[in-house]
């Protein structure tokens, strides 16, 4: 891709894996919670650039958006905030409770449960309806389509919110890859650049860049998984040079491929993070999540150039607008108690997460039934899956 121009779609040998839906292909039947029989079929993704269109990709199907917002509002009381599978599933042990994922151990396998918890600024801000399912299913889609770049730890997915994975030695490093100078947190590239830093994690940055501008080349800014906050590092000392170089190469290749797929669907993959682990046989595997709206920043491609020239923030399809709300209404780093996120913003984030999943995968998101408690459903499905693995 040209270092000085907006991203353009590039050919890739794995392109047949995308299985893009044609403009005339019918959609699968919708969930009873999102029956759209009176609405027109969803429009295909807009062109990433050119064509003279000014219609936002987020607005091509307002009927679908309204239906998702309605379903999200109805599901506010059913969010998966906490899990205790170890009390329901024999032999399961809680190994770690992250900001979003709860990890359980069962012999040679890990059970990763993706909750609806929403984190930013290294703390939980809210619970977002359907978020855990969106993240889990988005990651599974990408895991399946990036096997030509790297193996991964996925064994199966017995539930909408669950992935069973192979145990491995996890590198305590997050491989953050960035394509643009942007962000609002203290460790974001724009924040440190705006303060005058011109060498970030070994990457030289030119003078004169503006917020949200594309970098001349994608850069890697690895960080340690520190307790207080993620500290940028140049050489962590936590990996051998050989392992680090291999993981670095995989991360950059994954990001390049992710950008190509995103752009083919009218989106810009701005930045993301990857995590890797090492199997007993020495294989370095991709773990955790891939290109989700939690681990990644996405913008609408068709409006990017115009908004950049006008000094406006890009149209984002991630949690950035929720981050900005908290920054404008409190000190999310220092305040002990944070204000509740407005319900409208919570539902809007649920829509954007679902929109991203459907846009990237060209498939319909299945709204879960709310009659059965999520905890009971997950426990039953995990118990059956682990029994089959014995």
| Per-residue pLDDT in tens (0 to 9) along the chain, 390 residues | 333 333 333 333 333 333 333 333 333 333 333 332 233 333 333 333 333 445 677 778 899 999 999 999 999 999 999 999 999 999 999 999 999 999 999 999 999 999 999 988 888 899 999 999 999 999 999 999 999 999 999 999 999 999 999 999 999 899 999 999 999 888 899 999 999 999 998 899 999 999 999 999 999 998 886 554 444 444 556 788 899 999 999 999 999 999 999 999 999 999 999 999 999 999 999 999 999 999 999 999 999 999 999 999 999 998 888 888 998 999 998 999 999 999 999 999 999 999 999 999 999 999 987 677 899 999 999 999 999 998
d(CA 79, CA 187): 30
* pLDDT score at 229: 40
CA dihedral 329, 335, 339, 341 (to 10 degrees): 70
Tokens found for residue 19: 């299985």
Contact predicate 57/83, CB 8 Å: no
Query: From the CA atom positions of the chain, what is the Rg in Å?
Result: 21
* pLDDT score at 1: 37
* pLDDT score at 289: 97
d(CA 312, CA 25): 36
* pLDDT score at 235: 52
* pLDDT score at 100: 95
* pLDDT score at 385: 97
* pLDDT score at 23: 32
d(CA 271, CA 319): 13
d(CA 6, CA 214): 7
């Amino acid at each position: 891709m040209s270092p000085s121009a907006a991203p353009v779609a590039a050919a890739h040998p794995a392109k047949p894996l995308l299985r893009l839906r044609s403009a005339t292909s019918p959609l699968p039947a919708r969930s009873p919670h999102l029956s759209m029989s009176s609405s027109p079929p969803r429009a295909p993704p807009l062109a990433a650039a050119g064509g003279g269109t000014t219609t936002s990709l987020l607005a091509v199907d307002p009927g679908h958006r309204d239906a998702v917002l309605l379903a999200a509002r109805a599901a506010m009381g059913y969010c998966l905030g906490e899990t205790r599978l170890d009390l329901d599933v024999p032999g399961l042990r809680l190994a770690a409770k992250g900001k979003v994922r709860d990890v359980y151990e069962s012999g040679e396998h890990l059970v990763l449960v993706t909750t609806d918890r929403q984190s930013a600024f290294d703390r939980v801000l809210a619970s977002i309806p359907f978020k855990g399912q969106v993240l889990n299913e988005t990651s599974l889609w990408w895991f399946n389509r990036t096997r030509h770049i790297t193996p991964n730890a996925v064994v199966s997915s017995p539930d909408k919110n669950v992935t069973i994975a192979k145990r491995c030695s996890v590198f305590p490093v997050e491989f953050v890859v960035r394509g643009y100078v942007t962000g609002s947190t203290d460790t974001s590239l724009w924040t440190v650049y705006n303060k005058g830093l011109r060498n970030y994690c070994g990457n030289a940055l030119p003078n004169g860049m503006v917020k949200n501008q594309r970098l001349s080349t994608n850069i890697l800014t690895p960080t340690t998984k520190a307790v207080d906050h993620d500290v940028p590092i140049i050489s962590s000392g936590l990996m051998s040079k050989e392992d680090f170089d291999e993981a670095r190469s995989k991360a950059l290749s994954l990001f390049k491929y992710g950008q190509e797929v995103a752009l083919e669907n009218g989106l810009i993959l701005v930045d993301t993070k990857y995590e890797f682990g090492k199997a007993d046989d020495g294989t370095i595997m991709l773990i955790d999540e891939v290109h989700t709206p939690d681990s990644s920043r996405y913008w609408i491609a068709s409006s990017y150039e115009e908004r950049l020239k006008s000094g406006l923030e890009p149209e984002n399809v991630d949690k950035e607008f929720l981050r900005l709300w908290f920054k404008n209404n409190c000190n999310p780093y220092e305040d002990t108690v944070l204000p509740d996120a407005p319900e409208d913003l919570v539902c809007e984030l649920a829509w954007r997460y679902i929109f991203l999943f459907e846009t990237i995968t060209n498939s319909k998101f299945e709204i879960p039934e709310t009659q059965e408690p999520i905890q009971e459903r997950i426990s039953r499905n995990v118990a059956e899956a682990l029994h089959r693995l014995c």
